[in-house]
Amino acid sequence: MAIACGRILVAAFLPRLFATPAEAGGDGRDRDDRAPREFPDRQAGWRARAHRAQLSGHEAFPPFAAAVR
């Protein structure tokens, strides 16, 4: 049971792990606080892939947690 709970805990933090590099870097001039959801859509390269990995992690976590539990 402890192994299962540990895996759920790790899976819960994976989206944040991918969000950090997606949001980090740059000088902040390309951000617009009035339209925060448009910022990830304008990214390219590895930051865009990291953002998409974060979104996939949020989608995959509930079924994973239900299956492990």
| 13 close to 57: Cβ distance less than 8 angstroms | no
Residue 15 has pLDDT above 70, yes or no: yes
Mean pLDDT lowest among 25-29, 34-38, 62-66: 25-29
CA distance 49 to 52: 5
For the record, the structure tokens of 50 come out as 């990291």
Q: With cut-offs at 50, 70 and 90, classify the pLDDT of residue 28.
A: low
Residue 30 has pLDDT above 80, yes or no: no
Residues 6+ apart with CB under 8 A from 28: none
- The average pLDDT across 40-61 equals 85
Please tell me what DSSP assigns to residue 35. Answer: S
